[in-house]
Structure 1
Amino acid sequence: MASGSPPDAFPGWHGTTILAVRKGGRVVVAGDGQVSLGQTVIKATARKVRRLEPGGHPVVAGFAGSTADAFALLERLEQKLEASPGQLGRAAVELAKDWRTDRILQKLEAMLIVTDGRDLLVVTGAGDVLEPEGGVAAIGSGGQYALAAARALMDTDLEAEAIARRAMAIAAEICVYTNTHLTVETLPG
C-alpha cells in the first residue's frame, strides 16, 4: 500500500466481535481472537479486550477495527482518564470530541466498548458516546449476532460471564469472521 492510501484501502480486513454484558453486579467484556484478511485467517488468538488501570481506577476496553488505530485510541483514552480520574463518562466524551475534530484522529478506523463497572459505553469516531439499553453492547463483524444472542439470554438464570460466553459462541457459529478463542475481562458493576 502506498503511503497516503485511504483508510478503506484494505476493505477485506474483517474479524472482531466484542460483547459487553452487565448483570448481577458484574460487567463482562468478551472479545474473540480472529483477525482475517479476505478469506484467510491471519491470526486466531488476537487479544482485543484490555484492562487499563490509570490512576488505580480499573477500566476494561474492547476494540473493533484497525489494531493500530485502536491502540492509538486506547492510549488517548488512558490520557483522558489520567486527566479525569474515576470519570469514564467524561474521559469518553473528551476522547470522542478529539476523535471527531482532530485531523489525524479522524482517519482512525475503530470502535470501542469501555466500562469501569459503573458506566458501560460505546465510543465511535462519529463523536458518539452511547450507553446501551438493557445492559448489553456489541461491536464488530459479529456484533449484531452476539448482541441478539445476549439479549435473548438476559432473562435466563445465567450470570453475566456465562451469557457473554454463550452469546459469543452463537456469534462464532454464524459469523465467519468470529472464532471461539475468547479474551474475557470482568469488573464489579
Structure 2
Amino acid sequence: MLKIKSTTVIAVMHNNEVAIGADGQATMGSTVVKGNVNKIRKLLDGKVLTGFAGSTADAFTLLDRFDEKLQRYFGHMKRSAIELAKDWRTDRYLRRLEAMLIAVNKEELLLISGTGDVIEPDNGIVTIGSGSLYAESAAIALKKHAPHLTAEEIVRESLTIAADICIYTNDNLTIEKIS
C-alpha cells in the first residue's frame, strides 16, 4: 500500500497575534491525489486552532480526542495536550495512529506527537510536515528581518516559500488567525 505523504503546517505567534496555516496538497506515492485539503480545524468555538499532518483519519480521531480533553479541562490547552499525549502513548489503539498536531490559542503554540511529546517552541514558531523546515526557516528570517509583518503574513509567506521548494507542498493555502 502506498503511503500518503503531504503537508506543511505552520503556526506563528508575533506582535500579539497568532496565525496557523497549511497547504492543501495530499500526495500518494509520487502522485498528487488532491490539491485543496483543509488541514486546519477550529475547536472550542474557535478559541483553539489546530493543524495536522499525517493520516487524515488518524488526525481526525486525535482531534476528536483533543476536543474532548479541551471540554473536560475547561479549555486549558496545555493540560489537554498533555493528557492527549499520555493517552496517545499508552492506549493500544491510539499509539498506532500516524499523525502530528499543532494546537494554538491566544497564549500558546504547541506541537503534539504520538511519542508523548508536547513541545512549546521558544521562538513563537512551530511547524510539522514534509515542508516544515523550509517554512520554519522562512518564518525565522521574516520575524527577524521584517518585524512589521503580521503573524498571518509571516505564515502566508513561509508556506509560499515552502511550496516553491517542497514537492509535497502546494500553494493552495488555508490560514486562520487569533488576535
Which interval holds the TM-score relative to the shorter structure? over 0.9
Task: Name which of 31, 35, 42 aligns with 1:40.
Answer: 31
Pair 1:102-2:94 in alignment:
no
Question: How big is each residue's C-alpha offset from its partner over 1:101-134, in whole Å with a ceiling of 9 and x where there is no partner?
Answer: 0000000000000011211100000000000111
The separation in 1 between residues aligned to 2:71 and 2:151, in whole angstroms, is 29
Aligned residue runs from structure 1 range 20-59, under 5 A: 20-53=11-44, 56=45, 58-59=47-48
Where structure 2 has 5 or more consecutive residues not aligned to the other structure, the ranges are none
Pair 1:63-2:63 in alignment:
no
Would the aligned equivalents of 1:21 and 1:137 in 2 still touch at CA under 8 Å?
yes
The separation in 2 between residues aligned to 1:102 and 1:168, in whole angstroms, is 34
Q: Which stretch of the first structure deviates more once superposed, 95-104 or 111-120?
A: 111-120
The separation in 2 between residues aligned to 1:44 and 1:85, in whole angstroms, is 36
Structure 2 match to 1:177: 168
Task: Name which of 2, 12, 20 aligns with 1:10.
Answer: 2
What is the DSSP-based 3-state SS (H/G/I as helix, E as strand, rest coil) of the residue aligned with 2:153? helix
Which AA in structure 2 matches 1:140? G
TM normalised by structure 2 equals: 0.96
What is the DSSP-based 3-state SS (H/G/I as helix, E as strand, rest coil) of the residue aligned with 1:98? helix
Shift of 1:24: 1.0
What is the DSSP-based 3-state SS (H/G/I as helix, E as strand, rest coil) of the residue aligned with 1:154? helix
Computed over aligned residues only, the root mean square deviation of the Cα atoms, in angstroms, reads 1.0
Shift of 1:170: 0.4
Determine what percentage of the aligned residue pairs are the same residue.
49
The separation in 1 between residues aligned to 2:2 and 2:98, in whole angstroms, is 11
Where structure 1 has 5 or more consecutive residues not aligned to the other structure, the ranges are 1-8
Q: How many residues align?
A: 177
Structure 2 match to 1:83: 72
